[in-house]
Amino acid sequence: MPFLPTTREEMLERGWEQPDFVLVWGDAYVDHPSFCGAIISRQLEAFGYKVCIVNQPDWKTDEDWTRFGKPRLAFLVTSGNIDSMVNHYSVSKHHRRKDSYTDNGEMGKRPDRAIIVYTQKIRQLYPDTPIVIGGIEASLRRLAHYDYWDDKVRNSIIIDSQADLISYGMGERCIVEIADALNAGLDIHDITFIKGTVFKTKNIDYLSDYVMLPSIQEVKTDKRKYCESFRIQNQNRDAINADLLIEPYDGWYVVQNTPQPPLSTQEMDDTYDLPYMYAPHPKYHHIPAFDEVQFSIVSNRGCFGSCTFCAITAHQGRTISHRSKESIVKEGKRLAEDKDFKGYIHDVGGPTANFYNPSCEEQLERGTCKMKECLYPGPCRNLEVSHTNYLEILRELRQIPKVKKVFIRSGIRYDYLIYDKDEEFFDELIKYHISGQLKVAPEHINPQVLSHMHKPKMEVFNEFARKYAEKNKEFHMDQYMVPYLISSHPGSDLKAAIDLALYLKKNHINPEQVQDFYPTPATAATCMYHTGLDPFTLKEVYVARDPHEKAMQRALLQVKDPFNYDLVKEALIKAHREDLIGNGPECLIPKDKYQLKFQRGKRK
């Protein structure tokens, strides 16, 4: 099956005079199911619709936008796999040098706030054509949200972009329902009934059984109202028990329909069995992001971990969807026959690799709990912990001819692993599925910070680390563990950062990379960052906003780097911890900066 048309000539070669949909897509065209535009376009194709692709159009001219003319049904718009602002800017708001979703990593092929720019351009050229927006940028900005780059609360993206409809979450089923409604002759403004969509209206008299959110004026001016709105949204992300939400604007109402149910296993299999080319379009030289997924397999979606700094639950939900063993093994066999395959399947997983099954049977009937989480502050009594099915898949993949190794790189939830009484999966993880080092995410060790992250207590991580070391020794493996750490997360002050620095020193952990907290739309931690309040308790939360303090917190996690010496020393003095400056075994830095440099050079 060839790539979908990207030029008018390719469209005419198929015998099409007009496409049903034109998909405007902020990433380069990679026809692989790890890329949102590929899934949506192939899904529509499977249901008989004609889709043409416009990738990374020049928004300053008209040529790319008029290439296919007016589509019969609608324009579909996505900024791509990553929010365009996250794609463009680091947490320090400096412009990134590389765009991994563009040919040769070139930066500048899409605008800031790509969906708004793209949609307004279409509206200018085709004022009466329906526009449906989707993908991560639209999904996480579907209602009023704090925007880190503007440092203010922005409107729902459907207001600012002038789009007609948002498809939020994972959109395979939703986009086909929208297409069928348009194809049946419905006006885009009458499509108000599809789950997983957001629309705007001036009249809500016909709606019932809804929850009215605080107005846009209230959430912009009152931080407690912002927290209230976030908490209601957070409690209404499950397809079974969510309510319809309405957010008032001046003269408008933004209406969020309840979410689409997660895909069944058969639907997941069908999605990943569509006729992808599994490659970038031949017009490109090299798409760096493709390297990460070319020999990886998606096995599941959703996450019931509910970390406050993560937006997965807002986009994919807490209920796990998974592919069948047969579907995953079939893809493994396809990978093994690829001409570039070297014998290594790089990853088998999803947002959390070892979340292959739902957290409990009750959530399948009643939906996920609105007021409780599965793993925080400890495991729910109804949590069903099992790696059996996932382990069976890994075993079959290892038996495929030409497969030398099957690695797990998408992240292991270590607390869920520790709660499993059967250690068979842990044993085989150590023996077969680690490529030298295992990345895990304790994120912090300070109890105050962990509570605001909704992460397990440090004792759980310590137990995992102990068992990890023991099993490596038992199986004669020399494998490292690399902890992911976040500095300056809401709740973290200099004292908490020093606690983490001391823990790292005690355990001989020298992190090469540290992630400063990045406030992205739709997360609870971003709500804390903006308001200084925990949205679940309305208690005050310490937030490090000053760039210099954030730099000190970050430096404390890498005290052995001579370039951090002055920041670390300043932080210790400010926190009245001069006792940690010196040559004693408990000290974080020596009194003399040049002594640190000498020690570093000697170690090398």
For 13-56, write each residue's pLDDT tens digit.
999 999 999 999 999 999 999 999 999 999 999 999 999 999 99
Does residue 99 belong to any structural domain of this protein? Answer: yes
**What would the pLDDT profile of 191-220 be if each residue is shown by its tens digit?**
999 999 999 999 999 999 999 999 999 999
pLDDT the model gives residue 576:
97
Looking at 199, 217, 251, the residue that finishes a domain is 199
Does residue 277 belong to any structural domain of this protein? Answer: no
Residue 461 clears pLDDT 50, i.e. is over it = yes
Q: Are strands 437-443 and 405-406 parallel, antiparallel or unpaired?
A: unpaired
Is the same domain home to 410 and 443?
Answer: no
Is the same domain home to 147 and 166?
Answer: yes
Q: Is the dihedral of CA 506, 509, 514, 519 positive or negative?
A: negative
Find the domain containing 553 and state its range. 438-449+468-604
Does residue 224 belong to any structural domain of this protein? Answer: no
Q: Are strands 152-154 and 74-78 parallel, antiparallel or unpaired?
A: unpaired
* CATH at residue 495: 3.30.750
Looking at 175, 199, 223, the residue that finishes a domain is 199
Is the same domain home to 399 and 475?
Answer: no
Of 119, 156, 172, give the one whose Cα is nearest residue 255: 156
Residue 591 clears pLDDT 70, i.e. is over it = yes
pLDDT band of residue 604 (cuts 50, 70, 90) is very low
Does residue 314 belong to any structural domain of this protein? Answer: yes
Give me the helices (H) in 407-514, please.
414-419, 424-432, 447-453, 458-474, 494-506
- Please list, in sequence order, all residues whose beta carbon lies within 8 angstroms of the beta carbon of residue 60, skipping any fewer than 6 positions away: none
**What mean pLDDT is predicted for residues 312-322?**
95
Provide φ and ψ at 255, rounded to 5°.
Answer: -115, 125
pLDDT the model gives residue 448:
97
* 555 to 298, 496, 544, 594: CA distances (angstroms): 35, 13, 14, 17
Is the same domain home to 516 and 402?
Answer: no
Does residue 280 belong to any structural domain of this protein? Answer: no
Does residue 504 belong to any structural domain of this protein? Answer: yes
Is the same domain home to 113 and 83?
Answer: yes
Number of domains present in the structure of the chain: 3
Residue 460 clears pLDDT 70, i.e. is over it = yes
* CATH at residue 348: 3.30.750.210
Does residue 87 belong to any structural domain of this protein? Answer: yes
Helix, strand and coil percent figures for the chain, each rounded to 5 = 40, 15, 50
pLDDT the model gives residue 598:
52
pLDDT the model gives residue 597:
62
Q: Is the dihedral of CA 164, 169, 171, 174 positive or negative?
A: negative
Is the same domain home to 521 and 423?
Answer: no
Q: Are 413 and 352 in contact (CB under 8 A)?
A: yes
Which residues is 220 bridged to in the sheet?
none
**Measured between alpha carbons, how far is 578 from 599 in angstroms, rounded to an integer?**
21
Mean pLDDT for the chain? 95
pLDDT band of residue 523 (cuts 50, 70, 90) is very high
**Measured between alpha carbons, how far is 363 from 373 in angstroms, rounded to an integer?**
11
Is the same domain home to 404 and 534?
Answer: no
- Pick the more confident residue, 598 or 309: 309
**What mean pLDDT is predicted for residues 47-71?**
97
pLDDT band of residue 410 (cuts 50, 70, 90) is confident
**What would the pLDDT profile of 88-110 be if each residue is shown by its tens digit?**
999 999 999 999 999 999 999 99
pLDDT the model gives residue 479:
94
- Please list, in sequence order, all residues whose beta carbon lies within 8 angstroms of the beta carbon of residue 553, skipping any fewer than 6 positions away: 487, 488, 492, 494, 497, 516, 544, 571
**Measured between alpha carbons, how far is 468 from 456 in angstroms, rounded to an integer?**
17
* CATH at residue 98: 3.40.50.280
**What would the pLDDT profile of 325-350 be if each residue is shown by its tens digit?**
999 999 999 999 999 999 999 999 99
pLDDT the model gives residue 602:
43
Is the same domain home to 359 and 472?
Answer: no
Question: Is the bond into 377 cis (omega within 30 degrees of 0)?
Answer: yes
Looking at 199, 231, 248, the residue that finishes a domain is 199
Does residue 289 belong to any structural domain of this protein? Answer: no
Is the same domain home to 485 and 392?
Answer: no
| DSSP at 53 | E
Is the same domain home to 589 and 444?
Answer: yes
pLDDT band of residue 595 (cuts 50, 70, 90) is confident
Is the same domain home to 406 and 370?
Answer: yes
Is the same domain home to 413 and 442?
Answer: no
Picking from 18-22, 199-203, 279-283, 407-411, which range would have the lowest pLDDT averaged per residue?
407-411
pLDDT the model gives residue 1:
60
